[in-house]
Amino acid sequence: MAEDSTALPTQLAAATLIDVASSSPVESLKAEFSDRVPIRSIISRPDGGAGLAGQRVRVGGWVKTGRKADKDAFAFLELNDGSCPGNLQVIVDAAVADLSPLVPTGTCVAVDGVLKLPPAGTRQKVELRVEKVIHLGQVDPAKYPLPKTRLTLERLREHVHLRSRTNTIAAVARIRNALAYATHTFFQKHGFLYVHTPIITTSDCEGAGEMFQVTTLISEADRLEKDLINNPPPSAADIEAAQLVVKEKGDIVAQLKSAKAEKNEISASVSELKIAKENLARLEERSKLKPGLPKKDGKIDYTHDFFARQAFLTVSGQLQVESYACALSSVYTFGPTFRAENSHTSRHLAEFWMVEPEIAFAELKDDMNCAEAYVRFLCQWLLDNCLDDMEFMADKFDKTCIERLRMVSSTPFERISYTEAVELLEEAVKNGQKFENKSVKWGIDLASEHERYLTEVKFQKPVIVYNYPKDIKAFYMKVNDDCKTVAAMDVLVPKVGELIGGSQREERYEVIQQRIQEMGLPLEPYEWYLDLRRYGTVKHSGFGLGFERMLLFATGIDNIRDVIPFPRYPGRADL
C-alpha cells in the first residue's frame, strides 16, 4: 500500500467573511494577511460555496472572461486569483461602476459584494453581487498578449512573465508547489536533515565537462579595454618625465638635508618627493596594462579571477552533500543545478532542480527502498492534495495521468538487473519490437525508448534497473566484485523513462582515486572528496530525482520547458 501523506493545511480557513445582518467577523474564516477571501475558500467547499450565501466578502483576482449583458445594464466576470483552478462568477451592475474597463481578459479587480445563490439550473453554486469596486488594474485588450483563445504552450513561452495567468501554467505551479512541500515532508518525516549545497563549485560531479563557468575576468577585460580607449596608457616619454621629476625632488631633499635646513622645510620637500614617486608608480603600473585576459605560460591566469581559480555553476549538489552524510548520516539537498549542454530536446533544460538525498550506512538496496518510497509518497500526495488540478490536467493533456498516479502510489516497483533488462530488450527486438536505437547490446546506455518499453509495455509499472556497466556511469559509484559493473540504479517510470538515478558510493580510497584517473579527471579538485575516504570512510548511498521530470510524469505535459517557472535553454534566458 502507498504510504499515507499528511494533508496540506486547509486553505478554506484563510478567508474573511462578514455576516450581512450582524456585520461581525466570522472568526473561523478570517484571513491572516489580507482582507480578501481566496476564491478557493469559497468554491472548493463541498457545497461549492452555496452555504456561504448571504455573506459579504471582498475578493480579488484577474478576469478570465468578461461580458456585458442586458443592454449593458450589468457585466458577468469570471474571476480567478490563482488559489484554485475554478473561477468565481462576479456580477457588476452598471450603477456600481463603469463596466467597459472591467470586462477585458487580464483585468485585475478587487471588489466588495454579497454572495448569492444563482438561478436554478446554472453551473455555479454561488455568485458574487458586487457592491463596490476597490481596485482596478486595467488592460488594453488590443495589446494584451494573452487573449481568450487558447494559446499553445510553445507560444506561451514567448510571454514567460505573463503565462502564469493561464489555467495550465497556474495548475502546474500549484502542482509543483505541492511536490516541493511533499518532498520536504517526506524527508523530514524520515529523519533527514536539509542541507544547502553551493551553487558555485570547483568540482565536476558528472565528469562530463558540460559546465557553465563563473568568472569576472571577461567583464574586467571589457572594462579595461574601454578604459584604455578613453584613457590611453602613458608613453615612454611620460614615464621618463615622471622619473625626472622624482630625481629632481630627490635632489632637493638631499640638498636641504645637507644644508641642515629647517625641519618643516625638509618635511614639505619629502612630501613632494613622495607624491612624485606615487605618480611614477601609477604610470609604470598603467603602462603594463594590456587589453584581453591575463595570461601565464600562454594560458588564462585564473589567479586573477574572483575565486583565484576556475569555478563553475554546479551540475549536482551530490558531492558536497556527501560530506554532510559522512557526519550527520541522513541528509538531502534540493536546489537548482546547471548543465551547459547544447540540447534542444523536450527533456533538457540548462537550469533545473534536483532532489538529492544521501544516506550513511546504507547499501544499494536501501537506496532503492528509499527512492521507491519517495516516488510513491509524491504520487499519493498529489492525489490527496491536488486532485482538482490533476483533474484539469486529465481533461486538457493526459487522460491517464490520475490513474498513473494511483497505479504508482499503490504498486510495488519491479526490480531487474541491467543485464536482465538488456536481455528483455534483445528478446523484444527478436519478436518484432522496433527501436530507433537499433543496437541493443550489453554495455549501451539505455535510451528513453528502452526505458519506456520496460515500464509501459513489458511490466506496465515502474521498474528499478540496477548494476550498470561501470564504463557508462560516474566515477563515484561503487565498483562491484565483478569489476565490470557498479552498484548503480535507475528508477524508470511510464511516460518519462528515467526519473531517478542513484548508486551506492565508492567508499574505498584506492578504488575511487583510480576511477577518477580512469575518467581523465584531475585529482586536485577532488582532494577534499578523497578526504571523505581517507578519514573515517563509511558506506553510503544516494540518488537524484529530476524535479521537472517528476512534473512531466505527474501532469502528462510533454515539454520540460512548460513545467518550470522560468525556463532556461539554448538561446533563451528571459527575465
DSSP of 403-465: HHHHHHHHSPPEEEEHHHHHHHHHHHHHTT---SS----TTPPPPHHHHHIIIIIISSS-EEE
The sign of the dihedral angle between the CA atoms of 501, 505, 506, 509 is: positive
Q: How many residues does the chain have?
A: 575
Of 179, 260, 62, 15, the closest CA to residue 564 belongs to 179
Instruction: Specify burial of residue 260 (Cβ count, 10 A radius: 0-12, 13-18, 19+).
Output: exposed
Report the pLDDT value the prediction gives residue 462, as an integer from 0 to 100.
97
Report the pLDDT value the prediction gives residue 206, as an integer from 0 to 100.
66
Cell (9 digits) for 16: 474573511
The sign of the dihedral angle between the CA atoms of 338, 341, 344, 348 is: negative
Q: Tell me the pLDDT tens digit for each residue of 168-209.
A: 999 999 999 999 999 999 999 999 999 999 999 987 776 555
Report the pLDDT value the prediction gives residue 22, as an integer from 0 to 100.
42
Intervals of the chain under pLDDT 50? 1-3, 6-27, 30
Residue 471: CA count within 13 A, CB half-sphere = 5
Of 126, 121, 167, the closest CA to residue 17 belongs to 126
Report the pLDDT value the prediction gives residue 117, as an integer from 0 to 100.
96
Cell (9 digits) for 30: 478570517
Report the pLDDT value the prediction gives residue 6, as an integer from 0 to 100.
47
Given a contact cutoff of 8 angstroms between Cβ atoms, the answer to whether 539 and 363 are in contact is yes
Instruction: Specify burial of residue 393 (Cβ count, 10 A radius: 0-12, 13-18, 19+).
Output: buried
Q: Please tell me the pTM assigned to this model.
A: 0.87
In whole angstroms, give the CA distance from residue 496 to residue 375.
13
Report the pLDDT value the prediction gives residue 296, as an integer from 0 to 100.
86
**Cβ partners under 8 Å of residue 365, min gap 6:** none
Q: Tell me the pLDDT tens digit for each residue of 129-149.
A: 999 999 999 999 999 999 877
